[in-house]
Structure 1
Amino acid sequence: MKMLDKLEKRLGILAVPNVVMTLIVAQLIIYAGMLTGRLEFEGLLLVPKAVFAGEWWRLLSFLITPPFVPATAFQAIFLAFFWYILWMMSQNLEAQWGTFRLNVFLLTCIVLAIAGAFIGQLISPAATLYVAPRFLYYSLFLAFATLNPNIQFLMMFVIPVKVKWLAWIIVGFGFFAVLALPSLGHRIAFLAPYLAYLLFFKGMLQQSLETRQRRAKFEGERKERAHTALHTCEECGASDQSAPERDFRYKSVGKDMICLCNICRERQ
């Protein structure tokens, strides 16, 4: 993306390195506040109606809300593991993209999520929409899977599954989740942040599609050539495909070259 390259030259100094780790630490602090009872999960989510009522802090607080509030020790371990995977994927993306591009990707997701929430609320005023930071996790995962499709994760610590298949599973569940949402406003709020993924990977996805089309065309032509006779006898019509045991040779007749099989040549 040439525009990003130009922006990086001018604004690259403003990029925050290891930004996802900063986000995780902030979520950990908020989680500690929830354990002490000083903070409530629902009080931090982005709720457009609440923002209209004056709770403006929700425009930022929803970003540092933990993915969920563990109720058991096992769930707390799972949350720690979740944060570790999130950090690992962000490190990979930052290494491949650079700090500035990762920052812009996350910022684009956030801006689109906020815009989608308010647009969705205006479209469906009777509904009460809310936005949690799950879109950031899924967006990071989709970006990671697109750039590293063959990396394997161990499902249940046993079954190796390539990350690209996990991404397709998530996309499939997301599709059905959108269909199950009660209103158009909910669907807009749900889908809006993922436009960032399309913006960043549009060229790559288009190139991948074109490559697959070229490969399919080449395979079709190869199979067609494999089933097309190279030599066809002018006398009996036998070919190297229908009679591979015959010997086909060419001879000059006037100004033309004609093909004859060994049987027809013996008859002459």
Structure 2
Amino acid sequence: MKFLYKLEKKFGKFAIPNLIVYLLFGQGIAFILSMWNPYVVYDFVFNWQAILQGEVWRLITFIFIPQATSPIWFFLVLIIYYSIGTNLEKTLGTFHFNFYYFISLFMSMIICAIFNISWPIASYVNQTLFLALATLMPDTTFYLYFFIPVKAKYLIVFYFVLLGMEVLSGGITILLLILASSTGYIIYFAIPALKGQRMRIKARPAQKNYNQQHQQKQQRSGEVIKVAFHKCNVCGKTELDDPEMEFRYCSKCGKEFCEEHLKNHEH
């Protein structure tokens, strides 16, 4: 979507690299605190009424509520979400991964404020990260309980079944909260799918602008140093060879290719 690239060009410099690392680090601190005092996480939950009464830290701390209470499971969750987050940032780009995550959080906060919902809403947003990765790489194999191989596209079905059960038990407010937490997924995946499009990774305006400025600076000093952000693993072409060339990641091997070699390469 063009408006996303315009946003990236204007605000891309404010994007947080390795966002998932900071999120998981915060969850790690919260988990340690919860082991010392199990009730501390209740003070982290997003609660609009409490925020209005001065507990403004809840505007941020709800992001860091641990998604598991057992040390073993929490450690596994960290590994899983680190892998998912880094792969998504690599595929979408730093700015788009930031936008995906924070727009989903923001919309969830609005729903919670309107309906006065006190809920660990970041957990829903984090779950959509798995959904996004599974959509990008449907043939990726996950191992349930470490030994049951299941492809991501089948886990998507299971994911929606669980959400359906939550909606049946929680009603319209939970449905709205789930939709709000899926805002990033809707923007980057659902809407393009409804339009018959597929998500494309291309040389982004902010990156092109950086390349141009960097080259102009080097030319003034008598040197020309070209910087490429995308490179085909087969032919070696970059966006510097053709600014209109589009690049995508293979869902099977995870490597980056130009359109010509995306479906014409060896694994």
Q: CA deviation at 1:179?
A: 1.3
Map of 2:188 onto structure 1: 200
Matched, 1:82 2:77: yes
Q: CA deviation at 1:78?
A: 1.7
Encode CA deviations 1:131-184: one digit per residue, 9 max, x unaligned: 342112211011111111110001121121001111111111101211111x53
* Structure 2 counterparts to residues 106-255 of structure 1, below 5 A: 106-121=101-116, 129-181=118-170, 183-207=171-195
Q: CA deviation at 1:187?
A: 3.5
Alignment check: 8 A CA contact 2:121 2:181 kept? no
Encode CA deviations 1:11-66: one digit per residue, 9 max, x unaligned: 11111111011110111112222223397111111122322332221111100111
Q: Secondary structure at the match of 1:185?
A: helix
Distance across 2 between alignment mates of 1:15 and 1:209 = 26
Kindly report structure 1 stretches of 4+ aligned residues shifted beyond 4 Å: 207-210
Letter in 1 for 2:88: L
Count of paired positions: 198
- Greater C-alpha radius of gyration: 1
Query: TM-score if structure 2 supplies the norm length?
Result: 0.69
Letter in 1 for 2:4: L
Given the superposition, is the C-alpha separation of residues 8 and 169 from structure 1 closer, same or farther in structure 2, using an over 3 Å criterion?
same
Letter in 1 for 2:86: Q
Map of 1:11 onto structure 2: 11
Given the superposition, is the C-alpha separation of residues 190 and 49 from structure 1 closer, same or farther in structure 2, using an over 3 Å criterion?
farther
Encode CA deviations 1:178-224: one digit per residue, 9 max, x unaligned: 1111x5334423432113311221343225599xxxxxxxxxxxxxx
Alignment check: 8 A CA contact 2:99 2:184 kept? no
Given the superposition, is the C-alpha separation of residues 163 and 56 from structure 1 closer, same or farther in structure 2, using an over 3 Å criterion?
same
Distance across 1 between alignment mates of 2:37 and 2:132 = 36
Distance across 2 between alignment mates of 1:80 and 1:189 = 27
Matched residues, percent identical?
27
Q: CA deviation at 1:10?
A: 1.8
In structure 1, the gaps of 5 or more residues are 71-75, 122-127, 211-268
Query: TM-score if structure 1 supplies the norm length?
Result: 0.68
Alignment check: 8 A CA contact 1:120 1:189 kept? no
